[in-house]
Chains A and B, each alone.
Chain A
Amino acid sequence: MIEIRSTYNKSYANQNIKRQQNVTFQGGLSVVKSLEKNEIIQEAVANCAEKTVKPVKNLINKNKEAVTAFFSKHSEIGEGAGIFFDFIGKAAIIPIVMIFNPFSKEDKDSKTYSALKHPVGASIQAVMEVSILMQGTRYIDKLAKQGKLGAKYAVSKLTGENLEKATSRLNFFKNRACWVAAISMTPALCAIENWAHPKLMKIISPKTAERKNTSKNGGHKA
């Protein structure tokens, strides 16, 4: 009986050693390297690059002049275009993405209620903040042209390299002034948005504004 047990133990121990030898982990990088050497994966990567990257490269190479002309034409995107895209993004893109967000499990009523806060905020921002900031930058431009901001900002009196430097210095100054003005206006704008949003929701969609969630887990889909 003892002999049988000892032989059994030996063979079991040998098996264990063999198993351990086979299962040794070689580390993350070595796995990636071995995968890189794999012919099937190499072929797949090459195929993928040929089908996706190469056509785009060829298209750009063929239309290099058109691409260059497009970017040269838009070398200075004006303040108006920036404001317009910002408004479109806030008023239209964010609400659509929020309402139809496939990763969120919240019920559609709450999503819609929260999403419609952004167009309200964007409208208030467009009416108040943008108009005040635009008037402010125009006022600073006027002061600089009149030479009231000092010699370094006197755009109308300078020429050549000095004019270029003065123009960019003036642009930076306007940016910082706008930032200070925007930060100081933010509490008032947020307060108006907070006051207007529930009121507007009651008018736009009274059912959504007043309906309470009846699901057991507080509005979350199971």
Chain B
Amino acid sequence: MIKPVSSISNNFVKLIKKAAESKTFEKHFNKCIDNPTYATRVLILTNVSKDTFAYALRVKNGLTNKEMPEEKKKYVVAMDAAMGGVTTVAQIATGWVLSSPKVLEKATKKLFGHLGENSKRFKQARAGFVAVSTLVFSMLLAKRVVVPLLAGPMADKIKISIDKSNPTKLKNNSTEKYSGMIPTFSHANYNNDLFKAFVNNKSKN
């Protein structure tokens, strides 16, 4: 291997080793091994934090995107914001329920109680139940079906609030075509000569 590349990889390995052997990680991993509920909940929080961060970035990027049509951009941004919020809540809620020892105990006792609680098959079936239910309920049903369903109407409302908070931009777009053709009416230009001339011409026609 070329010298600089090998020194970089050596330093990288040293860094990973230092992190793996650090006291905070050791404590954290021991707690994860002793307490499966804690481990599952940490996993949920890491997933949620990643998703929330990604949706926040999407909203920020969407607002500054110049290639998207203005109307579409508003809905895309609103949808991303709504999806971010609902995903966070839905993932935490389903994850917390599925990882709850009480819920797990009830469900697994009913399903696999006939195997005996200390048998190896019971533990295997229980692990399978946790894995499949997390995949089906949390990853597919909650995150991919329920979240977009709930986020749709929320995005509608967010879009309306964006429209309300930024009405000038919309007005400018709609009056752009006619600017210069029709003088706009306001108390300030009521006595304006140009406005008077426009009104007189209209009345003559």
- Residues in B whose Cβ lies below 8 Å from that of A28: none
B29 at the interface (CB under 8 A from A): yes
Across the interface, do A75 and B114 meet the contact criterion of CB distance under 8 Å?
no
The majority secondary structure among interface residues of chain B is helix
Across the interface, do B144 and A190 meet the contact criterion of CB distance under 8 Å?
no
1/0 per residue, CB under 8 A from B, across A9-40: the answer is 00000000000000000000000000000000
A209 at the interface (CB under 8 A from B): yes
Across the interface, do A93 and B140 meet the contact criterion of CB distance under 8 Å?
yes
A42 at the interface (CB under 8 A from B): no
A5 to B43 CA separation, bound complex (whole angstroms): 78
Residue among B29, B61, B163 with the most chain A CB within 10 A? B29
Closest B-chain residue to A113, C-beta based? Answer: B72
Closest A-chain residue to B145, C-beta based? Answer: A97
Closest A-chain residue to B153, C-beta based? Answer: A103
B170 at the interface (CB under 8 A from A): yes
Closest B-chain residue to A112, C-beta based? Answer: B72
Whether A93 contacts B75 in the complex (CB less than 8 A), given A68-B115, A148-B17, A179-B50, comes out as no
Across the interface, do A186 and B152 meet the contact criterion of CB distance under 8 Å?
no
A219 to B78 CA separation, bound complex (whole angstroms): 13
Question: Which residues of A from 144 to 181 have beta carbons under 8 Å from B?
Answer: 148-150, 152-153, 165, 168-169, 172-173, 175-177, 179
Whether A149 contacts B145 in the complex (CB less than 8 A), given A60-B111, A104-B153, A165-B33, comes out as no
1/0 per residue, CB under 8 A from A, across B2-39: the answer is 00000000000100110111000110110011000001
Q: Which residues in A have some Cβ–Cβ distance to B below 8 Å? A: 60, 64, 67-68, 70-77, 81-82, 85-86, 89-90, 93-94, 97-98, 101, 103-106, 109-111, 113-114, 117, 140, 143, 148-150, 152-153, 165, 168-169, 172-173, 175-177, 179, 182-183, 186-187, 189-191, 193-194, 197-199, 209-213, 218-220
Known: A60-B110, A93-B145, A211-B69; 8 extra A-B contacts, CB below 8 A, are A72-B124, A103-B153, A104-B153, A114-B155, A169-B29, A179-B46, A194-B62, A209-B69
Question: Which 5 A-B pairs rank lowest in CB-CB distance, beginning with the nearest?
Answer: A104-B152, A71-B128, A89-B144, A198-B67, A194-B61
